[in-house]
Chain A
Amino acid sequence: MGQIEWAMWANEQALASGLILITGGIVATAGQFTKWGFGAYSIAAGVFVCLLEYPRGKRRKGSTMERCGQKYLTRVVKVLGPLSKNYYVRAVLHLGLAVPAGFLLATLLGTACLAIASSIYLLAAFHGEQWTPIESKPKERPQVGGTIKQPPSNPPPRPPAEARKKPSEEEAAASAAVSGGPQENPVLVVDEVV
């Protein structure tokens, strides 16, 4: 269990909670129920949470699957500093955002889900995890063929090891130096089209 990265799960939960908050908020404001102001708040909070949580953080080991188009939001979220990096801060923030939505029936579910996400973020913070942005490194384009200096010196089909070791070391070295280029095939190779 020591290798589990809780933050990744918390991230999925928070994103889902954000969507649930938005949906509940829409139902509350569109239905014009009493206290629909909480519904409007819920939409705003949901949108904020979704934007904050959309860029996935980098995993400690291995490659991370990026969400579609997340690099634009990564730039914005990076700027927020400790708000985005520190998971303790995120846990408290999510809990705080969740509370007002609890006053309305339509958004109550969003509160519960965001509260759960907050607690998993707390767990992640205890494990010392933090959010690192996924930066795409600029790819160096190597010159085509730039690293190819010489053709391979011992391509297949290769004779068995005994045949190769038969001559003495110096002779092998000498013969290798002499026939450094294409090797001699033990059997005639014919290109046949079947």
Chain B
Amino acid sequence: MAVSWRSWLANEGVKHLCLFIWLSLNVLLFWKTFLLYNQGPEYHYLHQMLGLGLCLSRASASVLNLNCSLILLPMCRTLLAYLRGSQKVPSRRTRRLLDKSRTFHITCGVTICIFSGVHVAAHLVNALNFSVNYSEDFVELNAARYRDEDPRKLLFTTVPGLTGVCMVLVLFLMITASTYAIRVSNYDIFWYTHNLFFVFYMLLMLHVSGDEWEPYKLRRLYFIWVCRDIQSFRWFADLLCVLHNKFWQENRPDYVNIQLYLSQTDGIQKIIGEKYQALNSRLFIGRPRWKLLFDEIAKCNRGKTVGVFCCGPSSISKTLHKLCNRNNSYGTRFEYNKESFS
């Protein structure tokens, strides 16, 4: 049967154009992200550790991001009805395009399924590689905590891992209930499981936020310790000296900047002997002058993000918290983290 091109264009043209635009967007996103992680200098070491798995998992993640954002739009029935009925959408062609909303929803859904498969497979391989290629040199980059850590533990004890597993299970329930046979015979199952999309999105928000721990690339550690009397420092004096020597040997003496403060001065004795030579010169009397310290750190790390980790009483915590939010003229950002054991 010969096709009339005019009819074909009227019936299929705009629909195919939109599909083409959507497809190009996906391909572009995948390609760009893949190249970024394959060649970007800031991911060089991570790429050495993980290889193709890194690029595939990130590229598929960006495609998933796009499609998860788009998939809800065609199901906003009130919005569609409003557009259809108003003067905003003048042409019949556009109105007929809106009729295809459910098809677009299904297309995005299928894409999410496929790329979730890619993403999960790539991350499972990544987990394995994190565990097998664990290196002492890149502790901060590695999600694993020691060599040959069981990758299943990585999966279930990290926020992205756990939320990822739950999302896959939710997706499994939703997909198996969305097949044509089920919709036709037991619409209830399809309807109730599809409402799990809310849970899926909550998990997705958490999944993505778990990734934010990566950007703390450690360049220098300022270790500030405030104690009342000198004996308290003995607990960690050995460890601190060992660390100090280690970094001296590795020719990065300024990697850890140790500052010990003795807040009470009665009965003071410097840490005795040659054994703790390194610490003697780093011992200060009185409370730390936080403002000056923050200014110095800001000056040395212009425009960077500095993580501040406080473990202590609430008076110090309040001071540090306020200082973290304070403006500085170097564009440095201080992120405040607190932990307390009392």
Contacts and interface: CB of A to CB of B under 8 A. Distances in A.
Interface of A: 1, 3-6, 8-9, 12-13, 16, 23, 27, 31, 33, 56, 59, 62, 64-65, 105-106, 108-109, 112-113, 116
B186 interface: yes
B258 interface: no
Given A16-B175, A109-B120, A9 B189 contact: yes
Contacts of B152: 105, 108
Binding site of B, secondary structure by majority: helix, strand, loop or mixed? Answer: helix
B169 A62 contact: no
Nearest to A117: B176
20 contacts: A4-B186, A4-B189, A8-B182, A9-B176, A9-B182, A9-B186, A12-B181, A13-B173, A27-B124, A65-B181, A65-B185, A105-B127, A105-B128, A105-B151, A105-B155, A106-B124, A108-B152, A109-B168, A112-B172, A116-B169
B309 to A, nearest CB: 32
A163 to B, nearest CB: 47
Given A27-B121, A56-B181, A108-B152, A116 B186 contact: no
Interface in B145-181: 151-152, 155, 165, 168-169, 172-173, 175-177, 179-181
A13 B172 contact: yes
Contacts of B151: 105
Contacts of A6: 189
A1 B188 contact: yes
A5 B176 contact: no
Given A12-B176, A112-B168, A112-B169, 19 more contacts: A1-B188, A8-B185, A8-B186, A9-B177, A9-B189, A12-B179, A13-B172, A13-B173, A13-B176, A16-B176, A23-B117, A56-B181, A65-B181, A65-B185, A105-B151, A105-B152, A105-B155, A113-B169, A116-B169
A12 B177 contact: yes
B195 to A, nearest CB: 14
B76 interface: no
Nearest to A9: B189
Chain B: interface residue count, which band?
A: 20 to 34
Contacts of B181: 8, 12, 56, 65
B184 interface: yes
Interface string B7-34: 0000000000000000000000000000
A62 B189 CA distance: 17
Interface of B: 117, 120-121, 124-125, 127-128, 151-152, 155, 165, 168-169, 172-173, 175-177, 179-182, 184-186, 188-189
B203 to A, nearest CB: 15
Contacts, number: 61
A5 B182 CA distance: 10
Nearest to A17: B172
Contacts of B127: 105
A3 B186 CA distance: 8
Nearest to A113: B172
B164 to A, nearest CB: 10
Contacts of A9: 176-177, 182, 186, 189
A62 B188 CA distance: 16
B175 A105 contact: no
Nearest to A62: B185
Contacts of B128: 33, 105
Contacts of A109: 120, 168
Nearest to A59: B185
A161 B207 CA distance: 73
B172 A5 contact: no
B155 A116 contact: no
Nearest to B181: A65
B188 A116 contact: no
A23 B117 CA distance: 10
A117 to B, nearest CB: 8
> By CB atoms of chain B within 10 A, which of A27, A105, A106, A113 has the most?
A105
A8 B179 CA distance: 11
A12 B173 CA distance: 10
B185 to A, nearest CB: 6
Contacts of B125: 31
> By CB atoms of chain B within 10 A, which of A1, A9, A27, A109 has the most?
A9
A3 to B, nearest CB: 8
Contact of B173 (A62, A64, A65, A116): A116
A105 B172 CA distance: 18
B186 A5 contact: yes
A124 B124 CA distance: 33
A193 B165 CA distance: 69
A105 B124 contact: yes
A112 B169 CA distance: 8
B185 A5 contact: yes
B251 to A, nearest CB: 38
B155 to A, nearest CB: 7
> By CB atoms of chain A within 10 A, which of B125, B180, B185 has the most?
B185
